[in-house]
């Protein structure tokens, strides 16, 4: 009965590879997000989707491409991974009020 | 634009002592305010939130926070901390129509025996 789930939990890969992170929520929320937490623990919004429509696209390299096949899923694909992409990526979902739930995070390490 | 400032990056405190973690925000619109806790190598857990109503908000694990509109603050308090409260604490604001959270840079609470 997990509310927001992410896979994989850990991801170790080489520079230049392409990888995807999947996120699913079973809360019936309309909005889903991707946040990035860097090595200094700073959390920042990357993308937001509302009912499969992109509504927030912060200053993120276009190597990052979110995809929302339906309201309950928001995946993140990263092309040509770089060392600086190493971080923890959190998926979240919410209704319009902003009170939402976070997934457990995906710890990405690029070697 | 909205922003959140957590005034202390680290707060060391002895076990059973009271603690206050400070948070100030700026926003041109009405806001919702949140405190999250992140234990080492864990995800984010919601401690408490202010949406409307009473300015004193009680959360989990004995934490509470007070919304002060005139001072644009939302400080987190606990009267007596435990070793297990050692973690990173994040203050966040949400006020835009998109509902995303703007986070402060975090305060690392270290509780010592």
The pair of structure tokens assigned to B90 is 């994040």
Percent of chain B with pLDDT over 70: 96
A102/B100 touch (CB, cutoff 8 Å), yes or no: no
Region of residue B98 (left: phi > 0; alpha: psi -120 to 50; beta: else)? alpha
Burial B43-78 (b: 16+ CB within 10 A, else e): bbebbbbbeeeeeebebeeebbbbbeeeebbbbbeb
Count of CB atoms within 10 A of residue B95's CB?
19
pLDDT on residue B100:
82
Per mean pLDDT, which of A15-29, B22-36, B41-55, B91-105 is the most reliable?
A15-29
Task: Taking the CA atoms of A49, A17, A10 and B48 in sequence, report the sign of the dihedral they define.
Answer: negative
Q: Which residues of A touch B44 (CB under 8 A)?
A: 43, 90, 102, 105
Average pLDDT, rounded, for chain B: 92
Q: Do B100 and A50 touch (CB under 8 A)?
A: no
Among candidates A40, A41, A98 on the partner chain, residue whose Cβ is nearest the Cβ of B94: A98
> Is B103–A95 a contact, with Cβ atoms under 8 angstroms apart?
no
Task: Describe chain B by its helix, strand, coil percentages, rounded to 5.
Answer: 5, 50, 40
% of chain B at pLDDT higher than 90 = 76
Checking if the pLDDT of A80 tops 90, the result is yes
Please give the residue of chain A at the shortest CA–CA distance from B52: A97
Q: Looking at the partner chain, which of B43, B51, B106 has a beta carbon nearest the beta carbon of A103?
A: B43
Residue B85, min C-alpha distance to chain A (Å): 18
Pairing mode of beta strands A73-78, A19-25 = antiparallel
User: Who has greater pLDDT, A17 or A1?
Assistant: A17
**Terminus-to-terminus CA distance in chain A, angstroms?**
34
Which segment, A12-21, A40-49, A64-73, B93-102, is predicted with the most confidence on average? A12-21
Average model confidence (pLDDT) across chain A: 91
pLDDT digits (tens, 9 = 90+) for A27-45: 999 899 999 999 999 999 9
Q: Name the residue among A17, A29, A46, A34 with its Cα closest to residue A97.
A: A29
The predicted-structure confidence for B10-20, as pLDDT tens digits, reads as follows 999 999 999 99
């Amino acid at each position: 009965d997990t509310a927001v789930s992410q896979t994989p939990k850990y991801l170790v890969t080489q520079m230049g590879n392409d990888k995807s992170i999947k996120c699913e929520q079973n809360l019936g929320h309309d909005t889903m997000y991707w946040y990035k937490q860097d090595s200094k623990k700073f959390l920042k919004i990357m993308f937001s989707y509302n009912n499969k429509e992109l509504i927030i696209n912060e200053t993120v390299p276009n190597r990052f491409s979110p995809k929302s096949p339906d309201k309950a899923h928001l995946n993140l694909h990263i092309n040509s991974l770089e060392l600086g992409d190493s971080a923890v990526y959190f998926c979240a979902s919410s209704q319009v009020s902003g009170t939402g739930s976070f997934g457990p995070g995906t710890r990405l390490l690029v070697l | 634009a909205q922003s959140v400032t957590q005034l202390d990056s680290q707060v060391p405190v002895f076990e059973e002592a009271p603690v206050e973690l400070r948070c100030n925000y700026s926003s041109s619109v009405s806001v919702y305010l949140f405190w999250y806790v992140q234990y080492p190598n864990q995800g984010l857990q919601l401690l408490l939130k202010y949406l409307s109503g009473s300015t004193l908000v009680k959360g989990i694990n004995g934490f509470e926070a007070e919304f002060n509109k005139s001072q644009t603050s939302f400080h987190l308090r606990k009267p007596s901390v435990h070793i297990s409260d050692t973690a990173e604490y994040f203050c966040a604001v949400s006020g835009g129509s998109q509902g995303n959270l703007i986070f402060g840079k975090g305060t690392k609470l270290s509780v010592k025996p």
